[in-house]
Amino acid sequence: MKQAATEKYSRPVTAPLRFDWTQTEIAALFDLPFNDLLFRAQQVHREHFDANEVQVSTLLSIKTGGCPEDCGYCPQSVHHEAAVEAEKLMDVDAVVDAARAARAAGASRFCMGAAWRNPRGKNFERVLEMVERVRAEGLETCMTLGMLDAQQAQQLKQAGLDYYNHNLDTSPEFYGDIISTRTYEDRLDTIHHVREAGMHVCCGGILGMGEARVDRVSLLEQLACQQPHPESVPVNLLVKVEGTPLAEQDDLDPFEFVRTLAVARILMPQSHVRLSAGREQMSDELQALCFLAGANSIFYGEKLLTTPNPEADQDRLLFERLGLRPA
Ligand code: SAM
Ligand code: DTB
Ligand code: SF4
């Protein structure tokens, strides 16, 4: 018995990339004993990445609040009591200053987020200028601006945008419980335009919104059956903001969060899996487990878009204690 188990788990897993994962297969990974699942995720991770390297991105909210969409988790929606005060789109110079500071602090990618349903008119032109200027500072660029049409995606690509973030958020089945102002198909269309324009896709979701495991399986199926896989897969843990419909949501079992990261790592071996929102609420030990499960990217800096993130010093210390290197 013992011999068989050792053989089973010491077999190298040089499996080719797959885009035809079934829900049954994905659910079976979730069902593995925790230690076996983490071991498999580590094996896959080490085949494709340096397991002690974590990519570091900085996030800036270039246009905060006043969003017409009704995403149930989001404090920037005008539909919720929590609504953070609406601000105008930042000036290009101020964004470039923030990008320089991020580079000085060790970030390799600068992500800019806007609380829009979709970008329009003069604002879109200003956003294109931001991409050009931030890129000229020697940083990789990423934006998340809501829905894009094919032409906008091409214009962003021409301006030099490396990544576009657009999340599926949850399963197609649970989606309608969270958002009513745009459809799952709308999201898939935007992702398609981004891919067609030749940009890297950053696409993931949020856990802990009251979805069932089958929804997490279904979300991962949606992501892992995209060909190519999204280059970057942000996995957010719901930040419960007072005044949003999801403020009183029960906590997700932290091990279920770790399991989801591990399964994402196994399904999408070459993608960066980003431990995104929710780190502020996690212990160092839980974050260490997330890295062990194959998460290899984080947002760095004291603020996400509107909610707090761990202080940079705290992250530096955690990296030191775990022997991790920012990349
Ligand atoms: N408005 C654009 C959009 O939704 O596509 C871009 C900005 S939006 C804030 C980017 C992503 O942040 C959302 O898709 C969602 O996955 C994540 N997010 C927003 N609020 C969150 C929260 N309270 N907890 C965790 N993730 C959140
Ligand atoms: C993503 O998946 N997570 C980031 C980024 N993409 C833009 C946003 C997290 C936002 C958390 C809530 C807030 O700070 O407003
Ligand atoms: Fe608007 Fe994006 Fe928040 Fe949804 S997640 S309300 S689209 S800012």
**pLDDT score of 312:** 85
The tokens for 265 are 């790592």
Considering only CA atoms, which residue is closest to atom 8 of ligand 3? Answer: 115
The response to whether residue 232 sits with its C-beta less than 6 Å from ligand 2 reads no
Side chain identity, residue 215: D
Catalytic residue among 40, 71, 109, 182: 71
The response to whether residue 153 sits with its C-beta less than 6 Å from ligand 2 reads no
- Identify the band that residue 302 occupies on the pLDDT scale cut at 50, 70 and 90: confident
Average pLDDT over residues 18-46: 97
**pLDDT score of 105:** 84
With 60 as the cut, is the pLDDT of residue 5 above it?
no
> Do 304 and 113 contact (CB within 8 A), yes or no?
no
Q: Model confidence over 225-247: pLDDT tens digits?
A: 999 999 999 999 999 999 999 99
- CA 64/CA 81 separation, integer angstroms: 15
Catalytic residue among 259, 274, 279, 290: 274
Buried b (16+ CB within 10 A) or exposed e, 265-294: bbbbbebbbbbbbbbbbbeeebbebbbbbb
Average pLDDT over residues 93-111: 91
**pLDDT score of 14:** 64
Active site annotation includes 259: no
Chain length of the chain: 327
Local structure of residue 171 (DSSP, 8 states): -
Distance 115 CA to ligand 1 centre (A): 9
Considering only CA atoms, which residue is closest to atom 6 of ligand 3? Answer: 77
**pLDDT score of 267:** 98
> Do 37 and 257 contact (CB within 8 A), yes or no?
no
The response to whether residue 275 sits with its C-beta less than 6 Å from ligand 1 reads no
The response to whether residue 55 sits with its C-beta less than 6 Å from ligand 3 reads no
The tokens for 148 are 């894009």
| CB neighbourhood size of 213 (10 A) | 13
Active site annotation includes 74: yes
> Do 196 and 263 contact (CB within 8 A), yes or no?
no
The tokens for 186 are 């709308």
The tokens for 182 are 């745009």
**pLDDT score of 81:** 86
**pLDDT score of 10:** 45
- CA 305/CA 309 separation, integer angstroms: 9
Distance 109 CA to ligand 1 centre (A): 18
- Identify the band that residue 313 occupies on the pLDDT scale cut at 50, 70 and 90: confident
Active site annotation includes 203: no
Which of 61, 165, 187, 281 most suits a substitution to test ligand 2, by most atoms within 8 Å of the C-beta? 165
Side chain identity, residue 56: V
- Identify the band that residue 8 occupies on the pLDDT scale cut at 50, 70 and 90: very low
**pLDDT score of 6:** 42
Residues contacting residue 155 through CB under 8 Å, at least 6 positions apart: 124, 128
Per-residue DSSP letters for 258-287?
HHHHHHHHHHSTTSEEEE-TTGGGS-HHHH
Average pLDDT over residues 264-274: 97
Which of 144, 184, 235 most suits a substitution to test ligand 1, by most atoms within 8 Å of the C-beta? 144
Distance 150 CA to ligand 3 centre (A): 20
Q: pTM for this structure? A: 0.94
> Do 23 and 221 contact (CB within 8 A), yes or no?
yes
Residues contacting residue 179 through CB under 8 Å, at least 6 positions apart: 69, 70, 71, 72, 169
Average pLDDT over residues 97-106: 90
- Identify the band that residue 82 occupies on the pLDDT scale cut at 50, 70 and 90: confident
Q: Model confidence over 182-195: pLDDT tens digits?
A: 999 999 999 999 99
Q: Model confidence over 110-119: pLDDT tens digits?
A: 999 999 999 9
Active site annotation includes 202: yes
> Of all helices (H) and strands (E), which one includes residue 151?
helix 150-159
Average pLDDT over residues 136-162: 96
Catalytic residue among 109, 182, 187, 202: 202
The response to whether residue 167 sits with its C-beta less than 6 Å from ligand 2 reads yes
* Residue-averaged pLDDT of the chain: 93
Adjacent-strand bridge partners of 114: 63
